[in-house]
Amino acid sequence: MTAAAACVAVLLTPAGVQAAPHDAHHGQPGKKPRAPHTLRLTQGSDGRSDAPSLSADGRYAVFTSSATNLVPGDTNGASDVFLRDLRTGRTQRVGTDAAGGQSGFGATAGAISASGRYAVFVSASTDLIPGEVHDGPAVYRRDLRSGEVRYVGRDLGGSVRWALHASVSADGRYVAFASSEAVPRPGAVVAVRDMRTGELTKMPLRLHRSTNPLLSDDGSVLVYTCSSYWPIDNSASDAMVADPQAGTHRSLHTTPDGVRGNGRVSQAGVSGDGRYASFTSTATDLGPEDTNGAGANVFVRNLRTDALRIVEAPDPALSTADGALSGNGRYLLFRAFATGSDAGTWYLRDLRNGRTRVAIADADGAPVQVDTGDRPLDARARTVAFSSVADNLAPGPHSPEADAYVRRLPRPNALVPHWSPKNDRGPVSDISETGPDL
């Protein structure tokens, strides 16, 4: 068993229970494969917890919560960003000053680096860094090893600016963030800050709002989504990929002829190694055969070869959305649903061999409505993080609102019945077999 697999086995074992000596993924003779196991991170909390993300090795989960009883001394009356060490069970606040003092206005929109050392968050507090005052929500980076807190930014031109969310490279050097403005016109811009040199690189404005930036582990690949305010009944949208250091950028949402697709696009994502990008679109002209008509689908693009594949549900008549890639792009977490109000079912698909299995379910194995963060999967797709208001996902007391969870995923040979790889159009050999060395 690898070190990463051992870590996951330990972190999802309840206190006082010894982890199994072998990883069921390896199919040890005579060993019964372990069932999926879900752990509530916010057991008995008195507030709402939202959409956690994971470090690459699956050891750390970061999430936002309005709860006041997750750590001692939480008296600011505001939401905070928290970090859970899944190996030790320790929970700490991230959005504090260097000494651990709480911020007056709390923090939101937390994200963690692949290495687990750095976290970024948005805060309107003026007391995080001595002598440094920012009169609006801004992005900060915290070194979880030393405690150092550094200002990243929010000022991207215009006025009445406030930061929205951020992403950080594995080594903490690059931080991408979006900043909104009201003057001279409503909009939002994405930029990347080099924390070593201080250089700020703004992405060219595409449509009116550029939001939801996400960086690859080395910071060389940035994806983000764009949208317009009009036409009101069918406003334009796009998904972009950029190399912040080289200054290049292009649309992900293009047909084989290089023309933008004819549908609405959202939810851009990128694998940790920067080789694959994903997005959700209602387009019908992107190339791969689409069997659900005007319904949405997740698409995965190989950024080296530009090959594009459509990811359809086990029932191809359903829509797919909310795609999230593993570290090397081999695995995709996604949701399949019939209508916008349908909670749907969350699946994990091996894009190399087409194998699909249910990834998130309640204690009875039934579909459940959940929300996920920007990085809900660890690098090897062995753990998924999410939040939900459901009360039967894990033992123990639940909060009156949504809780944050992590779940060890089912064994990889648990196939979804009545599904075959022919329903997932695209070159299955396009996804590399090996993952990053963790």
Higher-confidence position of 341 and 376: 376
Q: Give yes or no for a cis peptide into 14 (omega within 30° of 0).
A: no
What's the CA gap between 169 and 215, in Å, rounded?
Answer: 6
The whole-number pLDDT of residue 36 equals 62
What's the CA gap between 252 and 267, in Å, rounded?
Answer: 11
Task: Residue 178: name the closest of 144, 133, 215, 134 by CA.
Answer: 215
What's the CA gap between 246 and 220, in Å, rounded?
Answer: 9
Q: Are 165 and 157 in contact (CB under 8 A)?
A: no
Q: Does the pLDDT at position 142 exceed 90? A: yes
Average pLDDT over residues 365-394: 94
- Provide the whole-model pTM: 0.85
List the single range of 110-119, 131-140, 299-308 with lowest mean pLDDT. 131-140
Which residue in this structure is represented by tokens 């879900």?
38
Token digits for 280? Answer: 């959700």
Higher-confidence position of 113 and 180: 113
Higher-confidence position of 9 and 200: 200
Element (H, E) at 10: helix 3-11
Type of residue found at 85: D
Q: Does the pLDDT at position 62 exceed 90? A: yes
Q: Are 239 and 221 in contact (CB under 8 A)?
A: no
Instruction: Name the band, by pLDDT with cuts 50, 70 and 90, for residue 136.
Output: confident
The whole-number pLDDT of residue 8 equals 35
The whole-number pLDDT of residue 411 equals 57
Q: What is the dihedral of CA 145, 37, 372, 337, to 10 degrees?
A: 170
- Average pLDDT of every residue of the chain: 84
Token digits for 341? Answer: 């109000």
Q: Does the pLDDT at position 286 exceed 70? A: yes
What's the CA gap between 285 and 330, in Å, rounded?
Answer: 25
Instruction: Name the band, by pLDDT with cuts 50, 70 and 90, for residue 160.
Output: low
Token digits for 331? Answer: 């695995």
Q: What angle do CA 243, 264, 236 make, to 5 degrees?
A: 80
The whole-number pLDDT of residue 356 equals 94
Instruction: Name the band, by pLDDT with cuts 50, 70 and 90, for residue 197.
Output: very high
% of the chain with per-residue pLDDT over 70: 82
What's the CA gap between 152 and 141, in Å, rounded?
Answer: 7
Average pLDDT over residues 246-274: 93
- Reported as a single tens digit per residue, the pLDDT across 307-347 is 999 999 999 899 999 999 999 999 999 999 998 778 899 99
The whole-number pLDDT of residue 185 equals 65
The whole-number pLDDT of residue 17 equals 31
List the single range of 30-44, 64-78, 172-186, 285-299 with lowest mean pLDDT. 30-44
Q: Is 87 exposed, middle or buried (0-12, 13-18, 19+ CB in 10 A)?
A: middle
The whole-number pLDDT of residue 432 equals 36
Measured CA distances, 82 to 35, 113, 215, 389, 399 (Å): 28, 14, 21, 18, 16
Q: Are 145 and 190 in contact (CB under 8 A)?
A: no
The whole-number pLDDT of residue 26 equals 34
Q: Is the dihedral of CA 294, 298, 304, 307 positive or negative?
A: negative
- Reported as a single tens digit per residue, the pLDDT across 391-415 is 999 999 999 999 999 999 865 554 4
Higher-confidence position of 262 and 54: 54
Instruction: Name the band, by pLDDT with cuts 50, 70 and 90, for residue 141.
Output: very high
Token digits for 56? Answer: 């690459």
What's the CA gap between 215 and 226, in Å, rounded?
Answer: 16
Half-sphere exposure of 192 (CA within 13 A, CB side): 29
- For residue 3, the SS3 value is helix
Q: What is the dihedral of CA 87, 120, 269, 177, to 10 degrees?
A: 180
State the DSSP string of 137-175: -EEEEEETTT--EEEEE---SSBS-EEEEEEE-TTS-EE
